[in-house]
């Protein structure tokens, strides 16, 4: 089974790339969605989060995202701690799903992961596509999503740089242009990397 990793920083359009691959018929395991599931009502990560960040961090059985963001997005140590807790459960889910798909004989699975940790992501992937874009474009996208400019800058500053992402990737997808340009670049990689391996989508 060929495991394709898709990663990139906030505002790059990583999820759009994964969406294109999903629309072409590939199974996408979305780490962001899984992280929401494990911190939703009754989520398996909530008990440990409450132990570390206090009972106030869980509200009505789910992670209180508004409250927790006021804590972690001003303190990288606390952000790393929260991420480590959630990632542990996310990566376990991904590993279990990959094994199920392998047993089913699935040809290709996509891992959509924003933080490319070595154990549980990089070591699971046969190839990694990194989605990048200009910082100015990221800022516009994040502000369009409802963030203030200062919040957007802070979020970007706390993440890996595009260069750091590219150091662990095999192919770059620059998404500073139009959606059509993005689709064309993804199509190039589908043809050169997936079709060449017998993965017809």
pLDDT level of residue 126 (50, 70, 90 thresholds): very high
Q: Residue 34: CB partners within 8 Å, gap ≥ 6?
A: 90, 93, 94
pTM of the model as a whole:
0.86
DSSP state of 122: G
Q: Look up the CATH architecture of domain 2-195.
A: 3-Layer(aba) Sandwich (3.40)
Residue 163's H or E segment, with its range, is: helix 162-168
pLDDT at 76 exceeding the cut of 90: no
Give the model confidence (pLDDT) of 148-190 as tens digits: 999 899 889 888 999 999 999 999 999 999 999 999 999 999 9
Q: How far apart are CA 149 and CA 155, in angstroms?
A: 10
Q: What are phi and psi of 64, to 5 degrees?
A: -85, 90
Confidence of residue 117 (pLDDT cuts 50, 70, 90): confident
Domain ranges for the chain, please list them. Answer: 2-195
């Amino acid at each position: 089974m060929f495991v394709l990793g898709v990663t990139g920083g906030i505002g790059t359009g990583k999820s759009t790339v994964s969406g294109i691959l999903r629309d072409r018929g590939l199974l996408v395991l979305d780490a962001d969605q899984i992280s929401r599931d494990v911190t939703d009502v009754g989520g398996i990560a909530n008990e440990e989060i409450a132990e570390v960040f206090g009972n106030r961090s869980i509200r009505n059985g789910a992670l209180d995202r508004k409250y927790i963001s006021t804590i972690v997005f001003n303190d990288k140590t606390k952000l790393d701690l929260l991420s480590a807790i959630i990632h542990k459960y996310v990566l376990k889910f991904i590993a279990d799903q990959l094994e199920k798909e392998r047993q089913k004989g699935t040809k290709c699975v996509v891992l959509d992961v924003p933080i490319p940790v070595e154990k549980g992501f990089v070591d699971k992937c046969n190839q990694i596509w990194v989605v990048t874009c200009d910082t100015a474009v990221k800022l516009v996208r994040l502000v369009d999503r409802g963030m203030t400019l200062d919040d957007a800058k802070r979020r970007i500053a706390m993440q890996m740089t595009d260069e750091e992402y590219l150091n662990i990737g095999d192919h770059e997808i620059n998404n500073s242009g139009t959606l059509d340009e993005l689709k064309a670049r993804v199509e190039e990689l589908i043809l050169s990397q997936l079709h060449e391996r017998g993965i017809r989508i």
